[in-house]
Amino acid sequence: MFPIKSTLRRCLAAVSLMTCATLAQAEYPSKPVTLISPYGPGGAADLAARNLAAVVPDYLGADVIVTNRTGAAGVTGSAYVSKSRPDGHTLLLARVGSQAAVPAINRRIPYKWDDFTFLGLLERIPLRWW
């Protein structure tokens, strides 16, 4: 059974963090926010990004555009965000693979763990291995 209440609480917490950022800087966002999903359309990352993008405009006052930048196990999208302006208009829906597993395996990727500012946890996906 999927914990819907728990997921909704996490989504609202993420939105609250974004709202706090809005209050701290009144001009933000000055344009639509781009949310990069580093994996393919229709997968878990894409669905999480689109669900978040559906509720954030009510709190943020600006549109959130989900863009899939796929390739290299999430490295392509993550590298794109790490090189973008740090103005909060380009966000990454980070996953364990692109942010922890790949950097641990391949030290030559074009970003490091601390190149990103983490806003919060959006979801937990329970796995059953047996």
Tell me what the pLDDT averaged over the chain comes to: 83
pLDDT given at position 11: 56
Kindly report the pTM of this predicted structure.
0.74
- The residue with tokens 């209440």 is 5
Q: Confidence band (pLDDT; 50, 70, 90) for 114?
A: confident
Is residue 5 in a domain? no
Q: Confidence band (pLDDT; 50, 70, 90) for 92?
A: very high
Q: Confidence band (pLDDT; 50, 70, 90) for 104?
A: confident
Q: Which long-range contacts (CB under 8 A, 24 or more apart) does 123-130 make?
A: 123/7, 123/10, 123/11, 123/48, 124/3, 124/6, 124/7, 124/10, 125/44, 126/3
pLDDT given at position 1: 47
CA distance 71 to 68: 10
CATH number, position 46:
3.40.190.150
Is residue 69 in a domain? yes
Domain count, the chain: 1
pLDDT given at position 120: 85
> What b/e string do you get for 7-33 counting C-beta neighbours within 10 Å, with b at 16 or more?
beebbeebbeebeeebeeeeebbeeeb
Q: Can you give the residue range of the structural domain that contains 65?
A: 30-110
- Structure confidence by residue, pLDDT tens digits, 31-65: 999 999 999 999 988 999 999 999 999 988 899 99
Is residue 121 in a domain? no
Is residue 96 in a domain? yes
